[in-house]
Structure 1
Amino acid sequence: MIPQRIVLGSVAGLASAFLLAACGSSNHDASSADSGTAMPAATAASDPAISASATSAPADSGSSTGGHLATTTMLVARAVQGMGSVVTDDKGMTLYRYDRDQANPSKWTCAGACTKTWMPVMVSGPVRTSGVEKSLLGTVHRNGMKQVTLGGWPLYRYLGDTKAGQMNGQGKGMQWYAVTPTGRKSAMTG
């Protein structure tokens, strides 16, 4: 009985250490104000290279993001049967836009609990593209970080997509849609 408690205690301690390390490596600047305005892609290209990871990282609980973030280094257009072309990140995860956001000027409205399900796609440097028009890329400020926009629309990843190529967020709440290479919302095709 006692060895079992020691093992459980050790596992809990290791899990806590990993979570603290992940939180400590976050690039949040909670004291920065959000401007909610778009930045041209050329400005984003002058930043240092961004993380090659497309995994989620816990956000600062005091920020207006309040959930998770996703980072990417590349936007790729992929053909999906019955959906046409949609945009994915460098790990093949489908990217979405939210109808409540604004495209011109770019402004995000998904904050707090929303970002626990819909992770803002953040960048801190240039983003490569394949099949996506680079001139349509931009960023919008979000707590001292930059959320990537396409055609003016802020981009998100859906927590319910656990594998590359999934589109489980398509049409959620009749407000979330996979984004096309031109920034439009994806719709079923014939």
Structure 2
Amino acid sequence: MTRGRRIAIGIASGLTAVTALTWLGIQELGASQNNSGAVTPAAAQSPVTVQLGDPGSASSSAPAPTSASAEPSTAAPAPAGGAGPAVLSATTIPKMGSVVTDKDGFVLYRFDKDTANPPKSNCVDKCAQIWPPVLTQGTPQIAGVDPALVGTVARPDGSMQVTIAGWPLYKFSNDPQPGKWTGQGVGGTWWVISPDGKKNLTCVPSTPPPAPTVPPTTPAATPPAGGGGNGGGGTGGY
């Protein structure tokens, strides 16, 4: 084969390849136009992005949103020590008769150095440790006591002390158990209170027991020196 013939065949083969490539491009162009109606270069297409937290992203490491229920509670705490409404009950006990007791059955007292009109407590500091005031948070719960006689008075520390007929109420720290009334007549100024707010003088010691000078560390097992008694069989003038 001559050199000129080989050149001619090569040119023909090249043209055939170009024609084939051109034909394939036209077919692809037509298919793209049929599917979308327009040709969009691949470089011009919007890139697909995956944000953190996308459920479809296997590589997402962002934590799931926290529900509102997981937020810290803003509810006000409960009162310290389980404090709440005071409980007053009119009760009849041996020898003393009608008295007022607290929720635990301890006999309650009034103090001559207080005032009822206007209500005012003058038992504070060490005195209030020996004679704990009857405090309340909310309206006192009462049984057998006239609601019209029950009230409260603010103490120096801001706490609310229960009153009957204006007289502030107290317990006696030396009373050994519910129903006992060893505080009757102590110092000539402390008296068991009746449901009407008056002093209960049904049983009065012949010699007033001296007033304690320090609060006890534990409830007294016996009445104070100088006399005493109890609601279940008092002696010494009770």
Give TM class, smaller chain.
0.5 to 0.7
- 1:131 matched to which residue of 2? 144
Question: What amino acid is the match of 1:51?
Answer: A
Q: What is the rounded CA distance, in whole Å, between the counterparts of 1:120 and 1:127 in structure 2? A: 14
Which 5+ residue runs of structure 1 have no aligned equivalent? 1-24, 27-49, 53-71
How many residue pairs are counted as aligned between the two chains? 125
Q: TM-score, normalized by length of structure 2?
A: 0.49
Q: TM-score, normalized by length of structure 1?
A: 0.61
Shift of 1:81: 2.0
Which 5+ residue runs of structure 2 have no aligned equivalent? 1-79, 204-238
- 2:99 matched to which residue of 1? 86
1:95 equivalent to 2:95? Answer no
Q: What is the rounded CA distance, in whole Å, between the counterparts of 2:95 and 2:180 in structure 1? A: 13
By percentage of residues, which structure has more strand? 1
SS in 2 for 1:122: coil
**Contact conserved, 2:86 with 2:135, CA < 8 A, in 1?**
no
Shift of 1:74: 1.2
Q: What is the rounded CA distance, in whole Å, between the counterparts of 2:167 and 2:115 in structure 1? A: 6
Give the number of the structure whose alpha-carbon radius of gyration is greater.
Answer: 2
The partner residue of 2:153 within 117, 140, 145 is 140
SS in 2 for 1:77: strand
Q: What is the rounded CA distance, in whole Å, between the counterparts of 2:179 and 2:83 in structure 1? A: 21
- 2:219 matched to which residue of 1? none
- 2:169 matched to which residue of 1? 155
After TM superposition, the runs of 4+ consecutive aligned structure 1 residues lying more than 4 A away are: none
Q: What is the rounded CA distance, in whole Å, between the counterparts of 1:96 and 1:90 in structure 2? A: 14
